[in-house]
């Protein structure tokens, strides 16, 4: 429909922000931007939305995604596919592009990260509880290591203690969710042959704790990316909305 309008516009009038057509595109883009922004409000008002039966969050998200993409098209039609002049206009143009592109990046992340997390990890972790979980693992491992023979204690101090200090983000998890876990666990196997049966079982328990920690790290790394992405998208969108309000005010006032 937009493309149809654009073709009609090109035959009937100049394509640009100051024509009636261009103003129309601008109004449509602004309306769409506000509508798309409502998704953020919906997430914070679940109770009211549910009570008023205003639709499922999934439908809202689809509208947010497609509406956001359409907004960019309308914006480009509004500017006549030209780079705008003026600081405010340029800033809005950049912010629009940035918001839509980060939105698309977020969409890609939301498709990729859940699959990655589900594909190779045996545990599921709540992001907010990662530090607590690691602290718990560290305490358990430390207490267990203290009861072990000297070689295990040395091994613990050298290979495990620093890993268990806190959550670690590792780049390798972006490429391979099980990134090097097996290689790291193999170190335990080298030591196992030199231990008594009792210590072997303790080492086995330490190995299990260590593996859990590495899997938590993988969750932490990827879930953090999903959360960090919001900082790239949401503030820009809010700023864009504010600038659009300012833009409308200046257009009508001056």
Partner 1 sequence: MSKNGTKTPPESTPAGKPSKNTGPDKTIRKRAAQYSDRWSSYSLNNNITYISERLSAEDLRDYEIFREYSDNFLEKISPDIASVVWKKDALLFEEGTYIDLAFYVVEGEVEVSLEKGEKGTTTSEKVTAPGSAPPRGRADESRQTVFLDMVELSKELAKRSESKNITMLSAMDFNLPRDSKTRLGPGELFGEIGALSGWPQSVTARTLGDCRLIQIRLPALRLMKSKSPELKQHLDRLYRERSLYSQLKHTALFRGFGREHLEVLTDQVELVSLEPDQVFVHQGQPADSFFMVRSGFIKLLQRLGESDQVVSYLSKGQTLGEIELLIDGIDTWETSAVSVEYAELIKIPKRVILEVLAQQPKLEERLWRSAAERVRNNGMSRRNLSHSEFTQVALERGLVEGSSILVIDLTTCTRCDDCVRACAATHQGRPRFVREGDKIGNLLIPKSCYHCRDPVCLVGCPTGAIHRVGATEVVKIDPEICIGCSTCANNCPYDAIVMHDMDEKWPEDMIPSGLRGTPRLQASKCDLCYGTGHDPACVTNCPQGCASRLNDLGDFEHLFKGK
State which of residues 18, 27, 90, 114 lies at the interface with partner 1 (CB under 8 A). 114
Write the binding mask 216 to 245 for partner 1: x where contact by CB under 8 A, - elsewhere: x------x--x-------------------
Q: What three-state secondary structure class fits 225?
A: helix
Give which of 96, 37, 46 is closest to 67, Cα–Cα.
Answer: 37
CB of 103 to partner 1, least distance (A): 13
Cβ atoms < 10 Å from Cβ of 164: 19
State which of residues 13, 132, 165, 176 lies at the interface with partner 1 (CB under 8 A). 132
Candidate segments 29-37, 52-60, 73-81, 241-249, binder of partner 1 by CB under 8 A:
52-60
Of the two residues 36 and 117, which places its CB atom closer to partner 1 in the complex? Answer: 117
Q: Rounded to whole angstroms, how far apart are CA atoms 41 and 241? A: 14
> For residues 191 and 203, is the Cβ–Cβ distance under 8 A?
yes
Residue with tokens 């990134």: 179
Candidate segments 119-127, 146-154, 160-168, 196-204, binder of partner 1 by CB under 8 A:
119-127
Kindly state the number of chain residues that form the binding site for partner 1, as judged by CB under 8 A: 34
Q: Please name the residues in contact with 35: beta carbons below 8 A apart, sequence gap of 6 or more.
A: 63, 67
> For residues 178 and 211, is the Cβ–Cβ distance under 8 A?
no
Does 58 contact partner 1 by CB under 8 A? yes
User: What is the rounded (10 degree) CA torsion for 175, 177, 178, 181?
Assistant: 80
Of the two residues 70 and 133, which places its CB atom closer to partner 1 in the complex? Answer: 133
Does 105 contact partner 1 by CB under 8 A? no
Cβ atoms < 10 Å from Cβ of 10: 12
Q: Rounded to whole angstroms, how far apart are CA atoms 208 and 185? A: 9
> For residues 183 and 159, is the Cβ–Cβ distance under 8 A?
no
Interactions with partner 1, residue window 5-44 (CB under 8 A) = 43
State which of residues 7, 12, 126, 246 lies at the interface with partner 1 (CB under 8 A). 126
Q: What three-state secondary structure class fits 18?
A: coil
Does 186 contact partner 1 by CB under 8 A? no
CB of 20 to partner 1, least distance (A): 38
Give which of 225, 220, 201 is closest to 123, Cα–Cα.
Answer: 220
Of the two residues 34 and 123, which places its CB atom closer to partner 1 in the complex? Answer: 123
Write the binding mask 136 to 175 for partner 1: x where contact by CB under 8 A, - elsewhere: x---------------------------------------
Please report, as ranges, the residues that interact with partner 1 according to CB under 8 A.
43, 45-47, 49-51, 53, 56-58, 60-61, 110, 113-115, 117-118, 122-127, 129, 132-133, 136, 212, 215-216, 223, 226
């Amino acid at each position: 429909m937009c493309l149809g309008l654009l073709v009609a516009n090109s035959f009937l009038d100049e394509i640009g922000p100051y024509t009636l057509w261009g103003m129309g595109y601008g109004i449509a883009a602004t309306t769409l931007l506000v509508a798309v922004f409502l998704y953020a409000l919906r997430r914070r008002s679940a109770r009211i939305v549910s009570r008023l039966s205003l639709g499922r969050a999934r439908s809202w998200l689809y509208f947010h995604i497609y509406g956001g993409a359409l907004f960019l098209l309308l914006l480009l039609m509004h500017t006549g596919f030209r780079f705008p002049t003026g600081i405010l206009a340029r800033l809005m143009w950049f912010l629009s592009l940035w918001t839509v592109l980060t939105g698309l990046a977020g969409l890609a992340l939301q498709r990729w990260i859940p699959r990655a997390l589900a594909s190779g990890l045996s545990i599921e972790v709540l992001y907010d509880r990662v530090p607590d979980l690691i602290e718990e693992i560290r305490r358990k491992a430390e207490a267990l290591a203290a009861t072990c023979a000297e070689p295990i204690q040395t091994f613990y101090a050298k290979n495990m203690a620093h890993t268990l200090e806190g959550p670690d983000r590792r780049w390798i998890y972006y490429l391979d969710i099980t990134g090097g876990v097996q290689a790291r666990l193999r170190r335990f196997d080298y030591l196992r042959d030199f231990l008594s049966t009792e210590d072997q079982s303790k080492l086995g328990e330490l190995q299990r704790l260590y593996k859990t920690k590495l899997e938590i790290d993988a969750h932490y790394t990827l879930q953090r990316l999903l959360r960090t992405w919001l900082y790239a998208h949401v503030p820009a969108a809010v700023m864009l909305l504010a600038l659009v309000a300012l833009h409308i005010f200046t257009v009508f006032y001056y």
